[in-house]
Amino acid sequence: MQKPLVITATGDDRVGIVDDVTKIILAHHGNVDASRMARLGGVFAMLMLVSVAEDHLNELQTALDGLRNQGFDLTIRATQRGISQKFRGWHRFQINVRGADHEGIIHEITHHLAQQGVSVETIDTGTEDAPFGGTKLFVMDATVFAPPNSSIESLQEELDAVGNELNVDIEVEPLDS
């Protein structure tokens, strides 16, 4: 029987870091089912959903623990596969944010979403050069689950008000769930 694990590993960025971690997973008959990996400053961060046969679980955990000796910070947490049943019947939306970069954008948007009972599935943020003027633009792409009684129109209207306060454009699009 396959056991799903969420593994986070962060370490100083260097060539071969993904190779080293995935080599350990593969050597212990594990499979990376989903992942997010990025260099953030001088640190490389990996977030992975890994499945491993139950009879290889302990050996994989011991081998991964060895990464700590190489300077990695590591967490391993058992999980369950699939979308939580509590989101069955909820609406799935994509939210895209673009605008002048300044402090507090992520907090203000996610605070508003939480007040509306909206659950975040994923968020990716960053900055990019503005086409004119040499300033930085804030960019955020999020996937969320909204309660069954919410509508895309009401969510867009509410986020437009937040966007006006923050001086950013916020677009909401439905996703197939």
Q: Are residues 112 and 169 located together in one domain of the fold? A: yes
Q: Are residues 53 and 132 located together in one domain of the fold? A: no
pLDDT tops 80 at residue 17:
yes
Q: Are residues 69 and 125 located together in one domain of the fold? A: no
Give me the number of domains the chain comprises.
2
Boundary (domain end) residue, out of 15, 46, 78: 78
Q: What tokens were used for 166?
A: 């923050």
Q: What is the pLDDT of residues 107-128, one digit of tens each?
A: 999 999 999 999 999 999 999 9
Residue 101 is which amino acid?
Answer: D
**Strand-strand pairing, 91-100 and 168-175:** antiparallel
Q: Are residues 62 and 96 located together in one domain of the fold? A: no
Phi-psi region of 166 (alpha: psi -120 to 50; beta: other; left: phi over 0): alpha
Counting residues of the chain whose pLDDT is more than 70, the rounded percentage is: 98
* Domain with 142 in it: 87-175
Say which residue the tokens 């011991």 belong to. Answer: 62
For 22, other C-beta atoms within 10 Å of its C-beta total 17
Q: What is the CA radius of gyration of the chain?
A: 20
Return the closest-CA partner of residue 29 out of 59, 7, 6: 59
Are the beta carbons of 33 and 25 closer than 8 angstroms?
A: no
Q: Are residues 53 and 97 located together in one domain of the fold? A: no
Q: How sure is the predictor about 1, in pLDDT bands with cuts at 50, 70 and 90?
A: confident
Q: Reduce the DSSP state of residue 2 to 3 states and report it.
A: strand
Q: What is the pLDDT of residues 129-155, one digit of tens each?
A: 888 777 889 999 999 999 999 999 999
Q: What is the pLDDT of residues 36-88, one digit of tens each?
A: 999 999 999 999 999 999 999 999 999 999 999 989 999 999 998 766 677 88
State how far the Cα of 114 lies from the Cα of 73, in Å rounded to an integer.
29
CA within 13 Å, CB half, 9: 27
Boundary (domain end) residue, out of 58, 78, 98: 78
Counting residues of the chain whose pLDDT is more than 90, the rounded percentage is: 86
Q: Are residues 104 and 50 located together in one domain of the fold? A: no
Are the beta carbons of 95 and 145 closer than 8 angstroms?
A: no
Q: Are residues 73 and 102 located together in one domain of the fold? A: no
Q: Are residues 69 and 143 located together in one domain of the fold? A: no
Are the beta carbons of 142 and 175 closer than 8 angstroms?
A: no
Q: Reduce the DSSP state of residue 66 to 3 states and report it.
A: helix
CATH number, position 49: 3.30.70.260
Say which residue the tokens 């997973």 belong to. Answer: 25
